[in-house]
Amino acid sequence: MNIAHVLRRHWVRWAAFGLAVVLLALTAVVWGFYRKLDRNITEDTSAAAELRKYDRERPSSVAKGAQNILLIGSDSRAGKNKEYGRDGGTQRSDTTILLHVSRDRKRATAVSVPRDLMVTIPPCRGADGKRGNERLAQFNWAFESGGTACTVRTVEKMTNVRIDHYVVVDFEGFKKMVDAVGGVKVCVERPIDDKDAHLKLAAGDQKLDGEEALGYVRVRKTLGDGSDTDRIDRQQKFLAALVSKMSGGDVLYNPGKLYPVLDAATSALTTDPGLASLRDLYGMVRDVRSVPTKDVRFLTVPREAYAADPNRDQLVQPAAERLFAQLRNDSPVRVDPDPSASASPAPSASARVSGKPDRTEAGGEGAEAAPGRDPAGTGGDAAGTGRDGAGTGRDAAGAGNGGHYRGTTAADAGCSGA
């Protein structure tokens, strides 16, 4: 017998056995990671059950294959979020975005809904189990009074767009996601020094960590006129920069960075049952990731100062309905960063109001959210917000020349000329 042949045969067997052991161990590790990420996601079955009760009155899907996802940024001060204010841990929607992903997965449109927008809120069941009456109130009252299901129904009633999925992210989760991608670079147009938001930034391109990013998207009372307008603009630009960073190969194709990002993201999310698994969530992310960054668009619903209370907003028609129809029918929505793309009203000195500081102000004044009750019966909130009642900087026309909207895209990151 050839000894060399025997040794070679034994070596091949041992090598094959060793490779099988390594592959088995690797499979176990990958499966363990998968299971951990999968268990991270919180499934919101109560909101889904509540929505099923009203399925007959909800709008139907018009563009089959397109996806409409409601993204809700919760500013509850419960748990680790208590450092951002004192309100007993109630839930409030600090940011709400309707994300539309086109049927061909070549376009994505993210539409911000201002929390001070006056809308009709349908009868919703509160945390106490009691069902309220339909009412006219500011938009963020829907989340505070009736949670995710009420917010979904309110958006559907306003837009007649069927919401396919919903995702809720809180402060802590937002910070972790930003830190996991290694920070996000944004253009700071002017220096920021806000003690309440714990934020001090110089003008120019700045790379923000999670804590700084949270302050950046929430601060408002030391910037501009103190309204939500500037803050929403910053939120859109930051999200555009985050999408651009996430789409880059430095994160997606680097396992050392991708896993922390996935771990942070899944830990931060509360979703409907249809997105409550890593497979389903990855499918949604894959759809958005396939959209070119220049075709991921961010804008705000066309709005102006509310007639009964200039410290609140109202939709501008027919511009708002035109936008909602584009989303329903999966039609392209064009945004233009140039303010001249849409006519904004000049500020009127007579329309300015001093108002009181908004109790839901970013930076954490810490008091309870204004519920949108109006003693005078106008549907507004008795407490002012301290912003310019003339609606300075709001996109009052909503849709300008040729149906263009003022906004930004995921490709518009960094300072111009930088």
Structure tokens at 387: 């912003």
**Both tokens assigned to 304:** 């102006």
Q: Determine phi and psi for 68, rounding to 5 degrees.
A: -120, 115
Which of the four pLDDT bands, split at 50, 70 and 90, describes residue 51? very high
CA nearest 216: which of 226, 232, 267? 232
φ, ψ of residue 364 to 5 degrees: the values are 80, 65
State what percent of residues in the chain have pLDDT above 70. 65
Q: Which secondary-structure segment (H or E) carries 91?
A: none
Give 363 or 396, the one with higher predicted confidence. 396
Q: For 91-164, list the strands marked E by DSSP.
A: 93-101, 108-112, 118-121, 135-138
Beta strands at 184-188 and 204-208: parallel, antiparallel or unpaired: antiparallel
What is the mean pLDDT of the segment spanning 297-303? 92
Residue 383 — very low, low, confident or very high, per pLDDT cuts 50/70/90?
very low
> What type of residue sits at position 134?
E
Count of CB atoms situated within 10 Å of the CB of 370 = 26
- Report residue 144 CA to chain centroid gap: 17
Q: What are the start-end ranges of the E strands in 233-278?
A: 269-271
pTM of the model: 0.75
pLDDT one-digit tens code per residue, 319-362: 999 999 999 999 999 887 655 433 333 333 222 232 333 333 33
Average pLDDT for the chain = 74
Q: Vertex 225, ends 220 and 228: CA angle to 5°?
A: 50
Q: Please say if the pLDDT value at position 201 is more than 80.
A: yes
* Residue 383, C-beta contacts closer than 8 angstroms, at least 6 positions apart: 355, 356, 358, 359, 370
Backbone angles phi, psi at 354, to 5 degrees: -75, -50
Dmax (CA) of the chain: 106
- DSSP sequence for 360-377: T-TTT--SPPP----TTS
111 bridge partner residues: 98, 299
DSSP annotation of 370 reads: P
Residues 283-316 as b or e (16 or more Cβ within 10 Å = b): ebeeebbebebeebbbbbbbbbbbeebbbbbbbb
Instruction: Return the amino acid letter for 129.
Output: G
Average of per-residue pLDDT across 29-39? 62
Tokens standing for residue 236: 């859109």
